[in-house]
Amino acid sequence: MKDSSPTLVIVLVDALAATQLEHQAMPFLHRLAREGKKISLDPSPYYAGIDPVLYGVSGLELGRFTGYCFDSERSPYAKASGGLSLLDRLPRGRAGKLTRNLGAKKLLKSSGGGWLAPQLFPSEVLAKLAPPPATDSPHPHIVHGLEQAGLQCRWYTRDFPYEGRKWLGSQLFALRHQRDLFRWILETDSEGPPALVLFELSVELDRMGHRYGPRLEGPLLEAARRIDRQLCELWRQMCDWPRLHWLVVSDHGMSQVERTWDLRAALQKAGLWDRLRGGTMIHSTSAQFSVPDVGVRNETMALLNETGPGIAVSYDGFKEVQIPDDNRWGDLVFLASEGTLLLPNHFQGRRQVAGMHGYHSSEQESSRPVAVLWGEQWPKDRVSPRTVMQALYPLITELFGL
Ligand SMILES: [Zn+2]
């Protein structure tokens, strides 16, 4: 048995808000937090996931903003767009989606692409996309740091195709593979458990949060209870692991959606939509514009700033709003203010949702993700109960004496 290093189990619970960690919803995790420490985290702007925890730096320093880059020349989808528009005409609903996913995946494979989930990108967006800029970050991923120190790690993180399967697929996946996943998590060999086990419980809370908003009631409450039971079951089966430590952490919370704004209609009304010539990608909480023409760019920026619920920022102001200054992200972005849902966006179309995340700035208490530290050796007193995600990284390296 190894006795020199502790074992750390990191569980990413997708979309668990700090405000949802209540006794009635999550009695197990609540107890863990009481015995250990609960930390309410500042939401990372945009879509940095829990990368700040795993790399120790913010999304800006890592070069993360979103998965959407303009670079039609280098887009792996450039040649695939014709086929995809055909796929896009397939029937709506779950069956259509499933067929589209399979078709898109096949197409991408044959075109040599495959870096992101094709199913997340409808054909109107696909041809504009390029792989995100490579991160030659000087900051090592926690797993690499531990492995370099000779420690054994067992981990999986969401691969995009899995994430892309979203609800129906993930339910089928869970039905088929949950037992295997749990067996994989709990496996020990003659050396005992590995130093690090990192895995993820995804989709369900995120889906409920989008649909019903962040308030802990109804189906969302049921989903939280289910996740709590799973966590409790895993924890009980690890009870005899020596020097066990847990870090349960979420990637984001959920903001209540209070208004929608039809960005496309606003651009059309101002006569800008056609002049932007397809260099536009509208997401739920932000929009990216690739506008080489300075006149059109200035007009668009003025319109967005005068009439839009949010701020428009041009390339030279990117860093101030935590966007890496690489103009493959666009020459201009519009960042919706918290609680605004942009329509029509390529995630939800025109569908209204009650909860959203990924805002440039989030003040609602429910938008805060959470971390729970449990175990004897965490230097818990040194970390503030409200802090940034990257503040957790040095706690992990210190736990292993790195
Ligand atoms: Zn989500």
**pLDDT tens digits, the chain, 402 residues: what are they?**
445 689 999 999 999 999 999 999 999 999 999 999 999 999 999 988 888 999 899 988 888 788 777 766 666 556 655 555 555 555 566 676 677 667 666 766 666 555 444 444 555 666 666 655 655 667 888 888 898 999 998 886 554 333 444 445 555 556 666 777 788 889 888 888 999 998 888 778 998 999 999 999 999 999 999 999 999 999 999 999 999 999 999 999 999 999 999 999 999 999 999 999 878 999 999 999 999 999 999 999 999 999 999 999 999 999 999 998 888 899 999 999 999 999 998 777 888 999 999 999 999 999 999 999 999 999 989 999 999 999 999 999 999 998
pLDDT the model gives residue 284: 94
If you measure from the C-alpha of residue 269 to the centroid of ligand 1, how many angstroms do you get, rounded to a whole number?
Answer: 30
CA of 160 to the centre of ligand 1 (A): 13
Q: Tell me the CA–centroid distance for residue 209 and ligand 1, in Å.
A: 8
Q: Give the integer Cα–Cα distance in Å for 1 and 53.
A: 29
Please give the CATH superfamily to which domain 258-352 belongs.
Domain 2, Phosphonoacetate Hydrolase (3.30.1360.110)
Q: Which residues contact 137 (CB under 8 A, 6 or more apart)?
A: 55, 57, 61, 62, 63
How far, in Å, is the centroid of ligand 1 from the Cα of 271? 32
**pTM, whole model, 2 decimals?**
0.85
Alpha-carbon distance of 152 to 189, in angstroms, equals: 11
**Residue 206 CA to ligand 1 centre (angstroms):** 5
Token reading at 318: 């990117």
Q: Is residue 198 within a helix (H) or strand (E), and if so which, with residue range?
A: strand 196-201
Residue linked to tokens 């506008």: 291
| Distance from residue 63's CA to the centre of ligand 1 (Å) | 21
> Residue ranges of the domains in the chain?
7-63+133-256+362-399, 81-127, 258-352
Distance 285 CA to ligand 1 centre (A): 11
pLDDT for the residue numbered 185: 85
The alpha carbon of 369 and the centre of ligand 1 are apart by a number of angstroms equal to 13
Instruction: Give the distance (Å) from ligand 1 centre to CA of residue 136.
Output: 27
Instruction: Give the Cα separation of 138 and 119 in Å (integer).
Output: 32
What does the DSSP assignment read for 240-281?
A: TSTTEEEEEE-S---EEP-EEEEHHHHHHHTT-TTTTTT-EE
Quick one: pLDDT at residue 143? 86
DSSP letters for 178-192? HHHHHHHHH--BTTB
Spatial separation of the C-alpha atoms in residues 394 and 98, rounded to whole Å: 42
Query: What is the 284 CA–ligand 1 centroid distance (Å)?
Result: 10
Angle, helices 160-186/93-111, rounded to nearest 10 degrees: 90
102 CA → ligand 1 middle, Å: 22
Dist. CA 236–CA 182, nearest whole Å = 12
116 Cα: distance to centroid of ligand 1 (angstroms): 16
Contact (CB, 8 A) for 70 and 130: yes
202 CA distance to ligand 1 centroid (A)? 10
Do the beta carbons of residue 38 and residue 372 sit within 8 Å?
yes
Second-level CATH architecture of 7-63+133-256+362-399: 3-Layer(aba) Sandwich (3.40)
Ligand 1: distance of its center to the CA of 375 in Å?
Answer: 30
Q: How far is the CA of 58 from the centre of ligand 1 (A)?
A: 20
d(CA 89, CA 202): 29
Closest CA to 8 of 146, 139, 140: 146
Ion ligand 1 nearby residues (CB, 5 A):
206
| Residue 109 CA to ligand 1 centre (angstroms) | 26
Class of residue 4 by CB neighbours under 10 A (exposed 0-12, middle 13-18, buried 19+): exposed
Dist. CA 252 → ligand 1 center (Å): 8
